[in-house]
Chains A and B, each alone.
Chain A
Amino acid sequence: MSDRIRAWIGPLLRWETGLALVVVIIGIVGASVSSQFFTSNNIFNLGLSYGEIAIMTLPMTLIVISGEIDLSVASILGMSSALLGYLWARHWPMLGIFLLVAVVGLAAGAINGLLVTRLGLPSLAVTIGTLAVYRGIATILLGPNTVANFPVTYTNLGVNAFPFTGNDLTYSAAIFIVLAIIFGIVLHATPFGRSVYAMGASVEAAQFAGIRVKRNKTILFMTSGLVCALAGVLLTFRLNTAVQNNGLGLELAVVAIVLLGGVSIFGGKGTVIGVVLGVLAFAGIQNALFLTDFNQEAAGIVTGALLLLSVFGRNAASFSSRLRQWRPARPGRGGGLRARPGQEPGNPAGITPP
């Protein structure tokens, strides 16, 4: 029994512990800087401001662990928001709109997945392209227009508290918690989740073990599409506005949080708990700055600094663990002319998820 506990605790004893410490420190500093920090009102506002971003980090976590990346998340969010507004302005029934938005989200993810798995294109380049295409579709749908007359029952989903929990939890925060549990279980305890790690660590070995890499990666992208579409709907209701630039630029925040949460950009490593902590850290810092009247737009500096700290810190951690376990270096591991780009940890060249 204690072995099982150790099995669960062991992997946590690295990045995530340090990050949890950071979150605690942020909490302490935040509370000391502003008396409002831990009020239920503030926590509620945090849920409002960061709920959608938080939700988007979950499928992104699995995608990055599997060795890919999805930069089109914010554009899928924007596209679904635009679609919502477009259809609503044409008097579609809301339930029908939800259905169509979900289908479009799945389709957008499927396109990403197919381009990456069937055509063998690098996900970085593909999702830079689809980032533009999906945002473009959003722009085509709405043009310069704004749709803002959503019914109260739905906008309440954006701004009200989740029932039965007092006034702390927004719908988006509640959805985030539920999704985090689901994604966590899937990633850490199911064969599918194990396959995500295997694909990220070594695609070939995963194939040779009978893992259906193409199918699984496509599923991951489609999940991301669906979840981001959901986030788009939530955002639209919260702002009571559908406009083509909803969510513009959010993909970088999502990636930043995922990396901050300890997920390795090279794939094969990371946990959902880490990313949840990352969300808390990110939101906490931004909020502390907000409460001290720091220029909100410049809070990006903090995001950037956190990101740098997370990768430099990770390198320091892995350096010490490398000293503990000797790993013989392998010459020509890059594969010579069997170009297998992107899988060269430890060289200062850029990351390229295959």
Chain B
Amino acid sequence: MSALVSQSERPPPPAPAGTGARKLTERAFRIRESGIIVVLVVFVAVTASVQPRFLNITNIQFILVNTTVFALLALGETMVVISRNYDLSVGSVLGLSAYLSASLFGGHPGFPIPLAFLAGLGIGLGCGMLNGIMVAAGRVPSLVVTLATLYIFRGIDILIVGGKEVVANSLPSAFLDIPKATVLGIPVIAIVIAVVIGIGAYYLRSFRSGRELYAIGSNPDAARLAGIPIGRRVFVAFTASGAIAGVAGVLWAAQYGTIDSTAGTGYELQVISAVVVGGVAIFGGSGSAVGAALGALLLNTISSALYVLGISPFWNQAIFGFLLLLAITLDRFISVRLTAALRVRGARHE
């Protein structure tokens, strides 16, 4: 009944089926990633032409330093979002870590700075592990879990802080100088963070467990059937996100000097915006840490540009929200076109 002749009689197609598809996809990805850079360049150019002092070395340093905290958070959040999860607790973890690590100095003058970083890391690690266990072991959506821990960690922070605050005076100047150190005009911190993000991106791209995070986000059912240890990978992703947020907290303390119980409030949505603008799909499966960091850089640059252009900072939030909407609309547009085009190519080459 199925003895058909027509297809197998046709001459074989000239190229291996699907090369067109590969080129198409690569082109789409390049458009997306370079799109951020293009927007960034355009923004900088426009702003600089109106207000040349935007390109002041001090201003650039300022932007870069400001971005470091968010870029770090974006790295951790990327790992989570890629696996189709969300970590809404990063702001609270940052706040908790900032206060606790900075308050170590107040109690003991001469407290070694690296230990403060270690303490922040540890706090973040603990919070992340808590998130990770609940998401991985219980079958509970991470949105809900981290929504809850956002509240819980913040509440713990408030209880501990109790209306006090850490003031810059109590912090060693060496600590406060960390964000100010520069090498050839580039803030050291920015270089270090860039390296860290590069390592993170490389891990996600070139190591098996990193690729498995993508797989989990791309098709969770298939990941389970393929025997991927979903629980373990997700647990590690949340632990890393927490640890990174912890370190970011210490950095934040070094930058701002004064820390009360509101530190980091609202950061989670900003980070997710940066990550999505940076090309990480809101449902996971694709995107890169570099893109996410660029997203954070873009948002920070825009915020600074608005300030320099004399536009009231009250416009910031509206603009960020609009950019986020634009980013997801664009992504949707690209993905719909891409899927349709890929389907056509696949069928043609059969």
Name A's B-contacting residues (CB within 8 A): 115, 119-122, 124-126, 128-137, 139-140, 143, 244, 249, 252, 255-256, 259, 265-266, 295, 297-305, 307-308, 311-312, 315, 331-334, 336, 339, 341-342, 344-352
Q: Known contacts being A300-B155, A304-B155, is A315 close to B140, with CB within 8 Å? A: yes
Give the residue of B150, B224, B328 whose beta carbon is less than 8 angstroms from that of A129: B328
Give the residue of A122, A137, A345 whose beta carbon is less than 8 angstroms from that of B318: A137
B84 touches A308 (CB 8 A): no
B316 touches A136 (CB 8 A): yes
Give the residue of A259, A298, A349 whose beta carbon is less than 8 angstroms from that of B142: A349
Chain B contacts of A315 at CB under 8 A? 138-140
B151 touches A334 (CB 8 A): no
B79 to chain A, nearest CB (A): 13
Q: Known contacts being A295-B158, A348-B139, A350-B85, is A126 close to B325, with CB within 8 Å? A: yes
A77 to chain B, nearest CB (A): 15
> Which of B31-39, B182-190, B213-221, B289-297 contacts its partner?
B213-221
Nearest opposing residue in chain A for B277, CB measure: A129
CA distance A307 to B266 in the complex (A): 19
Subset of 28 A-B contacts with CB under 8 Å: A119-B329, A121-B325, A121-B329, A121-B332, A122-B283, A125-B324, A126-B325, A130-B325, A132-B320, A135-B318, A136-B315, A136-B320, A140-B318, A249-B266, A252-B147, A265-B143, A297-B158, A300-B154, A307-B147, A311-B145, A312-B134, A315-B138, A315-B140, A334-B222, A339-B219, A347-B224, A348-B140, A349-B216
Chain B contacts of A339 at CB under 8 A? 219, 283
CA distance A352 to B156 in the complex (A): 28
Give the residue of B148, B234, B319 whose beta carbon is less than 8 angstroms from that of A304: B148
CA distance A298 to B134 in the complex (A): 22
B142 touches A131 (CB 8 A): no
B152 within 8 Å of A by Cβ?
yes
CA distance A244 to B265 in the complex (A): 16
Chain B contacts of A135 at CB under 8 A? 317-318, 321
CA distance A22 to B149 in the complex (A): 21
CA distance A248 to B236 in the complex (A): 32
Name B's A-contacting residues (CB within 8 A): 83-86, 134-145, 147-152, 154-156, 158-159, 162, 216-217, 219-222, 224-225, 230-231, 234, 261, 265-266, 269, 272-273, 276, 282-284, 312, 314-322, 324-325, 328-329, 332, 336
Interface of A, secondary structure class, is helix
CA distance A135 to B315 in the complex (A): 10
Chain A contacts of B269 at CB under 8 A? 128, 131-132
A347 touches B328 (CB 8 A): no
Chain B contacts of A143 at CB under 8 A? 312, 314
Give the residue of B85, B147, B322 whose beta carbon is less than 8 angstroms from that of A255: B147
B282 touches A311 (CB 8 A): no
Chain B contacts of A302 at CB under 8 A? 155
Supplied contacts A129-B273, A300-B152, 19 more A-B pairs, CB within 8 Å: A119-B329, A122-B328, A125-B324, A128-B269, A129-B321, A130-B321, A132-B322, A139-B315, A139-B318, A244-B314, A252-B147, A252-B151, A301-B155, A307-B147, A307-B151, A308-B152, A334-B221, A336-B219, A348-B136
A316 to chain B, nearest CB (A): 9
Give the residue of B83, B314, B321 whose beta carbon is less than 8 angstroms from that of A133: B321
CA distance A19 to B148 in the complex (A): 18
CA distance A35 to B69 in the complex (A): 48
CA distance A259 to B148 in the complex (A): 11
Residue of A331, A344, A350 most packed against chain B (CB within 10 A): A350
Residue of A129, A300, A301, A341 most packed against chain B (CB within 10 A): A129
CA distance A44 to B234 in the complex (A): 45
A142 to chain B, nearest CB (A): 8
Nearest opposing residue in chain A for B154, CB measure: A300
Chain B contacts of A350 at CB under 8 A? 84-86, 135, 141-143
B324 touches A128 (CB 8 A): yes
B326 to chain A, nearest CB (A): 9
A125 touches B282 (CB 8 A): yes
Nearest opposing residue in chain B for A303, CB measure: B151
Chain B contacts of A301 at CB under 8 A? 151-152, 155-156, 159
CA distance A135 to B316 in the complex (A): 10
Chain B contacts of A126 at CB under 8 A? 325, 328
Give the residue of A129, A255, A300, A352 whose beta carbon is less than 8 angstroms from that of B84: A352
Chain B contacts of A255 at CB under 8 A? 147
